[in-house]
Structure 1
């Protein structure tokens, strides 16, 4: 386990995540790193876990409305394929849309703690792991959780975020 700071700093977005988790009956330890862990690989290396255990929080737009995709750090979202599965067109969200939808900035977007609910898809690949790690509202923070908890606390829909092996793909 990475070294945690003895007195965790305070940050408004992290506090909102902690409050949202508490409303769902969860009180996980928020891990604060000395440096930002803005990629799945950096987070996995810092935690000493597999990259697939990192639940990336990616905000896209689906027909111009924000959508949060919680995906395993082991692969990328196939936006063309996922858009077809969801019956719309997925596009890249601007940093302004990410901030407006989640109250958080790119690199630290948590699955919860948003100003209002955001439609969420939870990558079923995360279910392979007993423990997964998600950002906690700041690029220097993560918290442990499970696939089932992610689905429950986000009200998300479990689903694949890329086509099954052997099916044609489009790059994300």
Structure 2
């Protein structure tokens, strides 16, 4: 059902985007990166978070980690990750296949600025065996995402900044 809701969503909003279905699991960033032949950062992971009574999705680069201080500043309260059952119920997608497309419940979607390092990203497509390759800005546009800065700075970026300063 989940893959079908993504298929219907993309048919309406981005009919040229092809869903890639694989025989191997892409349920983790490492598995997805290996299966798609890309670096882990290019995997667009979708995280389901609760801020008080509000549930949101945050899409970030695969090798990024959330920064609790930035999250609290952006949303006003401490974040809590949703459990697998609640994720499935609210998004319609199983953990490992969660994406911002074809959601069972309309949820606000936020894209972390870390994704802007890539022109194309590979988010899941509603199952642990499916994904899409999509332009980063287009993905944010078709899901109505708001851009936020809620991830920790990556170590290699910090080193690069220090070297060029």
Q: Give TM class, smaller chain.
A: 0.7 to 0.9
Q: C-alpha separation between the residues in 2 aligned to 1:20 and 1:83?
A: 31
Structure with a larger share of its residues in helix: 2
> Which of 49, 71, 76 does residue 65 from structure 2 map onto?
76
Give the alignment's TM-score, normalised by structure 1.
Answer: 0.83
Give the alignment's TM-score, normalised by structure 2.
Answer: 0.86
Q: Deviations over 1:36-88 (max 9, x none)?
A: 11111211111111111100011111113221010100211123421222222
Consecutive unaligned residues in structure 2, runs of 5 or more? 159-165
Q: Deviations over 1:13-33 (max 9, x none)?
A: 111101111221333221112
Consecutive unaligned residues in structure 1, runs of 5 or more? 1-11, 166-172
> Which of 2, 22, 25 does residue 11 from structure 2 map onto?
22
Q: C-alpha separation between the residues in 1 aligned to 2:149 and 2:56?
A: 15
Aligned partners of 1:122 and 1:150 also within 8 Å: no
Q: 1:149 maps to which residue?
A: 138
Q: C-alpha separation between the residues in 1 aligned to 2:115 and 2:152?
A: 15
Q: C-alpha separation between the residues in 2 aligned to 1:71 and 1:162?
A: 8
RMSD between superposed Cα atoms in Å: 1.7
